[in-house]
Copies of this chain bind each other. A is one copy, B any other.
């Protein structure tokens, strides 16, 4: 693949790396506590399996992106890379959706199920989760564009070939 085609993907991977590392760090350091009925209620990412999943997937995506950026990619690896990129995109998409769903209950609650919102008690934690979700979304979007661009390049190879 020519250098001109590699640069946009390289930049997108850098963006994705920054976003997944940011999402992981913000989520892991998110912490707030509140006094409810004389009991201290602590909010942190380990309280919910969804947040733990989000942290794991973003950390894995960071590691994967780092490896891909610094390892020279051969044309023979293109097929394998495309599949791995797709899996990472799906995992990021899944972790954001799950975390967003729980965040929505945290913010608005669910009156039908009797689940009360918690964001008014631990606003700092909720702000951090929102920031982590935005970073995760940026990473997911970067990977989506990487996939689209890779498709585009592969199809162009098809049409350019004599």
Pick from B47, B83, B99, B100: contact of A151, CB under 8 Å: B83
A148's nearest neighbour on chain B, judged by CB, is B83
Q: Which of A4-12, A19-27, A58-66, A107-115 contacts B (4 or more CB under 8 A)?
A: A107-115
Number of residues on chain A facing chain B (CB within 8 A): 44
Give the chain B neighbours of A106 by CB distance below 8 A.
Answer: 113
Bound-state CA distance A144–B89 (Å) is 12
Bound-state CA distance A46–B105 (Å) is 15
Q: Could you tell me the distance in whole angstroms from the C-beta of A46 to the nearest C-beta in chain B?
A: 9
Which of A's residues lie within 8 Å of B, judged by CB? 41-43, 47-50, 78-79, 82-83, 86, 89-90, 93-102, 104-106, 110, 112-116, 118, 144, 147-148, 151, 154-155, 157-158, 161-162
